[in-house]
Amino acid sequence: MKTGWRLAAGQAAAELMLFFPVLLLYWKYTLGGGSLWLFLAAGLAAYAGGYGAGRSGKLNRRILELLFGLAAAAAIAGVWSGGEAWSFGWLFPYAFLAVMRGSRLGRSSEVLPDRVYLAGLGIYLVLSPFFSRFPEWQAHQGAVNVFGLAALLIFLFVLSGRQLEEAVRSDVRRSAAGRLLLRRNRGWTLAVAGLALLAANLGALRRAADGLLLLIRSGVAWLISRFSGGEAPEAVPPPPPPRQPEFPLGEPGEPSRLAKALEVVFLYAAYAVLAALAVWLIVVAWRKLVPLILKLWERYVRSGGREAAGNEELGYRDEKTRLTREPARKSPEALPFWKRRTAADREGRDNRERVRQLYRSALQAAARKGYRHESRYTPSEAGRELEKRGIYRVEPLKELITLYESVRYGERQPDDREWEQVKEKWKQAGKGR
C-alpha cells in the first residue's frame, strides 16, 4: 500500500520537526552559515524527489538511491555555493538520507517506529538547554521550542492512532467511529500546536499589535485632519510594556519571588521528567536487550552457529515472528546492490525451501496491501484472515497453505509435480483481485 501525497507531506514535516536540533547542529558546524531555511527546503526537495521516484518504482535498489543522492547533493551544492567541492561533501550525507527516507516511504509506506520518535524527544530535552545558554543559538530557540512541542504532539498522535487502529481493526463495523476519533484527535493536536506557536511568539505578536494600533490611530488622525482642515496631530507610539511584572513581592529591578518560585518548580519538573525517562529507557533496555543476548547466545554459542539446520529439524517452527520481515543478508552479500539475487536464491534450493519462500512472499505482499500478520497466527488462521480481506483468491491460497503446513510441521519433501502445480496456479491467479 503506497502513501498518498498529503500523508507523505505530513510525514516529511514530522521528520523535519523531529530532527530539527540535529539538522541545526549539522548546518552550523559543517556549512558554517547561509540560510537555514534554504538548507531545510533543500532537504525537503530531496525527500520529495526520493518519494516520487520510489513511488514510481524507479528506486528499488540501494545503488540507485546512492546515485540519486549524489545528484541531489550536486544540485543543492550548485545552488548553495556555486558547486564548490567542500559543500558537496558535507551536503551528500544529508541529501542521501533525505532521498532514502522519501524512497522508502514512497515504495513501501515505511514510517518511523515509535522508538525513533522517543529518541527525537530525548534529543530535544538534551539540546534545548544547550541552545538557550549560548548567544549564537538563542536566535533559533523559539523554533526549537515550537518544533519540540510539535514533535511531542505528533508522537502522542501517532501512538494513539496506532492503538486506535489496533482496536478497530478486529471489527469492520467500528471503522467509521475509528475515523471520527482520528479526526477529532487530529483537530485537538492542531489546536494545541497552534496555541504553542502563539505562546512561543507572544512578544512578536504584541509588537505587531502595537504597530497595528499605531497605524489605526494615525489613519484616524489623518481622517480627522482632512475633514476638519487642521493639521493631524503626530501619533505618539504607546509606551513599551514594563519588563518587571507587577507582583507585590520582589525587589525593584529584579524578578519577583513568584517568578523565581515558578522557575524553580519548572526546573525540578524538567529534572523529574529526565529522571523518569532515564529509568524508563533502562527498564526497556533490560527487557529487550537481555532476552536478545540470551537468544543470540543460545543460537550462536550453544548451538555452534548451526542456525540453518534448525529450519530442517524444526520444520520452520521458529519463523513465526519473521515471516513478514526481510531476510538478513550475511557476508559476503552484505552489500545487496553489488550482486543481484538469482532465481535459485529467490525460490530456494529445494522444494521445501521453495514452498516456504512462496508462502513468505505471499505474506510480505499482503503486508504491503495493509494486512498485519500476528505471530500467534497459524497458517490456517492467516489464510482465513487473507480470505476475509479478499487479498488473494481462495483456491490457490488454500492449496498453498495446505502444502506449506505439510512442510512446516512435518518432514515431508514435496515432489516437483506438486510444487509446479501450486506455483503455476499461484501465478495464474495473479496474486490478488
DSSP SS3 for 80: helix
Question: Would you state the pLDDT for residue 384?
Answer: 85
Domain residues of the chain, as ranges?
Answer: 5-203, 255-305, 344-428
Question: Would you state the pLDDT for residue 52?
Answer: 83
Q: What CA–CA distances, in Å, run from 321 to 12, 112, 311, 324, 403?
A: 30, 20, 14, 8, 20
Residue-level pLDDT, tens digit, the chain, 433 residues? 455 677 777 778 778 888 888 888 888 877 766 778 888 888 888 888 888 887 877 776 777 777 777 777 777 776 666 556 666 777 778 888 888 888 877 777 666 666 777 777 777 777 777 777 777 777 777 777 777 777 777 766 666 555 555 554 544 444 554 555 555 555 555 655 565 555 556 566 666 666 666 777 676 676 666 666 555 455 555 566 555 444 444 455 555 566 566 666 666 666 677 777 777 777 777 777 777 777 777 666 554 444 444 444 334 444 554 565 544 444 333 334 344 445 544 555 678 888 888 888 888 888 878 787 777 778 888 888 888 888 888 888 888 888 888 888 777 788 888 888 888 888 876 544 4
Q: What CA–CA distances, in Å, run from 153 to 5, 14, 173, 286, 384?
A: 22, 10, 29, 27, 37
Residue 251 is placed in which grid cell? 525587589
User: CA dihedral defined by 351, 353, 359, 362, rounded to 10 degrees?
Assistant: -100
Residue 127 is placed in which grid cell? 539540546
Question: Whole-angstrom Cα distance, residue 317 to residue 305?
Answer: 18
Are 322 and 364 in contact, with CB atoms under 8 Å apart?
no
Residue 370 is placed in which grid cell? 495493509
Q: CA 31: distance to chain centroid?
A: 26
Are 194 and 155 in contact, with CB atoms under 8 Å apart?
no
Burial of 81 (0-12, 13-18, 19+ CB in 10 A): middle
3-state helix, strand, coil in the chain (%, to 5): 75, 0, 25
Q: Where are the alpha helices (DSSP H) in 19-84?
A: 20-26, 36-55, 62-81
Residue 308 is placed in which grid cell? 540453518
Which residues does 210 contact at the CB level (< 8 Å), separation at least 6?
A: 237, 238
Indicate the DSSP class of residue 322. G
H or E segment to which residue 244 belongs:
none
Closest by CA to 371, choosing from 216, 169, 177, is 169
Indicate the DSSP class of residue 181. H
Ranges of beta strands (E only) in 53-168 are none
Residue 409 is placed in which grid cell? 510441521
Question: Whole-angstrom Cα distance, residue 312 to residue 414?
Answer: 14
Question: Would you state the pLDDT for residue 332?
Answer: 39
Residue 18 is placed in which grid cell? 523531529
Q: If phi over 0 gives left and psi between -120 and 50 gives alpha, with beta otherwise, what is residue 329?
A: beta
**CA angle in degrees (0–180, nearest 5) for 66-70-73:** 135
- pTM, two decimal places: 0.39
Question: Would you state the pLDDT for residue 183?
Answer: 56
Q: Buried b vs exposed e over 19-56: b needs ≥16 C-beta within 10 Å? A: bbbebbebbeeebeeeebeebeebbbbbbbbbbbbbbe
DSSP SS3 for 314: helix
Question: Whole-angstrom Cα distance, residue 338 to residue 211?
Answer: 63
Question: What are 188-192's contacts with CB under 8 Å, separation 24+?
Answer: 189/153, 189/154, 189/156, 189/157, 192/153
Give the type of residue at 275. Answer: A
